[in-house]
Amino acid sequence: MRRTLFRIRLPLALFLVLVLTLTGAGFTIFLRVLASHAYGDFMRLDTKYAEVYFPRSWIAYGWETKNFSGNQYVVMVAPPAILARMFIVIYDEASAGGYLSKYNLTDAPSIVAHELRMFQENANATLQIVQSGTVPLFGYTASYSVFELTGVLDREGNSHNLTGTFMSFMGRGIIEVAHYGSKEEYYQVAQDFESILNLTKIKEGE
């Protein structure tokens, strides 16, 4: 039996948003908290590891976990109404070291290849790499791949095709960024995702 996308593993949690629910009361409180963090046409989610800017009509949610004997911080950013998502994942130095050691990884290209391979295996979908290279990201040079996943199942057994970009670079820790959606939705908000990355600041020392 094919495994569904709801069983896809962390750490990146590319599809975790599909099982996250922001209910009415919690969402209202969330918006009130963010109301004091307006920045022009954007809102700011200020976290221990990063300042993430996103369009006012969007939502953002962050959480911290223990992973590989260190800390891992994840921010999810999403537009309303459509299924397109961005995840920014930050490993501190201890967590990064444990992650690299466990999976025998040495650099950013190997991280990108490993995570995409895990997405493919855990989703039991067909992976196609459309483009790979390097790109400036948060003042570093990140490795990236644009990819397509074909035949990703939801909990009802319906098949979906996803298009996305995965990026990573190594500093004191590891930074990973992924954004994805259906092909149409992915390109519909691609410019917004680029603006988010251009405005977002990774805090020094993390």
Q: DSSP readout, 131-145? A: EEEEEEETTEEEEEE
**Residue 6, CA distances (Å) to 10, 60, 147, 148, 151 in order:** 11, 20, 19, 18, 14
Task: Kindly give the confidence (pLDDT) of every residue in the chain, 206 residues in length, as a single tens digit, with 9 standing for 90 and above.
Answer: 443 333 333 334 344 433 333 333 334 334 434 444 677 788 898 888 899 999 988 988 888 888 778 889 999 999 988 888 999 999 999 999 999 999 999 999 999 999 999 888 877 789 999 999 999 999 999 999 999 988 887 777 778 888 999 999 998 899 999 999 888 999 999 999 999 999 999 986 54
What is the CATH classification number for the domain harbouring 128?
3.40.1000.10
Q: Note the pLDDT of residue 124.
A: 79
DSSP 8-state code for residue 98: H
Range of the domain at 95: 5-202
Q: Report the distance separating Cα 23 and Cα 41, nearest Å.
A: 25
Q: What is the pTM of this model?
A: 0.81
- In total, how many domains does the chain have? 1
